Structure 1
Amino acid sequence: MSDLKDYIEKRVRVISTDARLFEGILQGYDKSTNIILSDCIERIIYPEPEEENQEIPMGLYLMRGGNIVCVGEVDEQQDDELDWMKIKGENLKGTKNPL
C-alpha cells in the first residue's frame, strides 16, 4: 500500500474487517499496512431510528494491517456538512471468509 504515503498527516476513514468505522489523522504505516492514527474516533452508526449513533474517542490508535479493509481520505468540506449523529445506515456484512 505505497499509496498511503499520500495520506500522511491527512484525515482518513478506515473500515475494518469486522465492519467498524474509524476516523483519524494518518501518522504512519509499514509494509504490512499496519497504521497509526492520531485523534482517532470510532463512529457507530445504527440502522434503527430509535437508536442514537455514537462517536467514541480513541486517541492515538494502532491498527493491524490484516484488520483493515480500506483506507480513504476524508473530504473535509463534505464532512463539515454532515450530521453524523442523524445519519442511519444498514448493518455491514463481515468481510472475512468463513474457514
Structure 2
Amino acid sequence: MNYMPGTASLIEDINKKHLVLLRDGRTLIGFLRSIDQFANLVLHQTVERIHVGKKYGDIPRGIFVVRGENVVLLGEIDLEKESDTPLQQVSIEEILEEQRVEQQTKLEAEELKVQALKDPGLSIPRADTLDEY
C-alpha cells in the first residue's frame, strides 16, 4: 500500500461506511461517496445519530454534503462490529425528547451556577451574552 498525502489518502475509503463528527457536535453516519482537496465530503444513506445516556436514535438525512472545515473526526465503521453496542436504539421522537430534557437540565444547571456566582458579587459572561461586550 502506497502512502498518499492529504485527502488523497481517503480515496481508498470511497464507498465504505463512515462516522463523521462535526464541529457543532452532530454525528453523521453514511457511505462516503466523494471527497475533494478541501476534505469536503459527500455521504450517501446518511443518518444523524443522537446519543443521550445509554440510548440513541437515528434521523434519516439522505445525501449529505459536509464542508471539510466542519469535520472534526472521520472514521470507517467496521460493519461486522456495528451491531455490537451496549446502547439501546429508540425512536426518533423518544431520542429528541430525551435530548430536549438533557439540554433543559444543562441550561438550568448553568443558570444555578451563574446565580451562585452573582450572590457573592461575582459574575461571569454567559455564551449568549458575549455579543453585548
1:8/1:39 CA distance change after superposition, 3 Å: same
**Structure 1 segments of 4 or more deviating over 3 A?**
none
Larger Rg: 2
Give the SS at the match of 1:55.
strand
Find the aligned partners of 2:12 and 2:22 in 1 and give their Cα distance: 20
Q: What's the counterpart of residue 66 of structure 2?
A: 63
Q: What's the counterpart of residue 93 of structure 1?
A: none
Deviations 1:34-54 (A, max 9, x none): 00000000000013x6xx532
RMSD of equivalent CA atoms = 1.7
1:63/1:84 CA distance change after superposition, 3 Å: farther
Instruction: Establish whether residue 53 from structure 1 lines up as the match of residue 56 from structure 2.
Output: yes
By relative contact order (CA 8 Å, sep 6+), the higher-ranking structure is 1
Aligned residues: 83
User: Which has the larger helix fraction?
Assistant: 2
Q: What's the counterpart of residue 89 of structure 2?
A: 85
What are the residue-to-residue correspondences of 1:1-99 with 2, within 5 Å? 1-47=7-53, 53-82=56-85, 83=87, 85=89
User: Which has the larger strand fraction?
Assistant: 1
TM-score, normalisation: structure 1: 0.76
Unaligned runs of 5+ in 1: 87-99
TM-aligned CA deviation for residue 12 of structure 1: 0.5
Unaligned runs of 5+ in 2: 1-6, 91-133
Give the SS at the match of 1:45.
strand
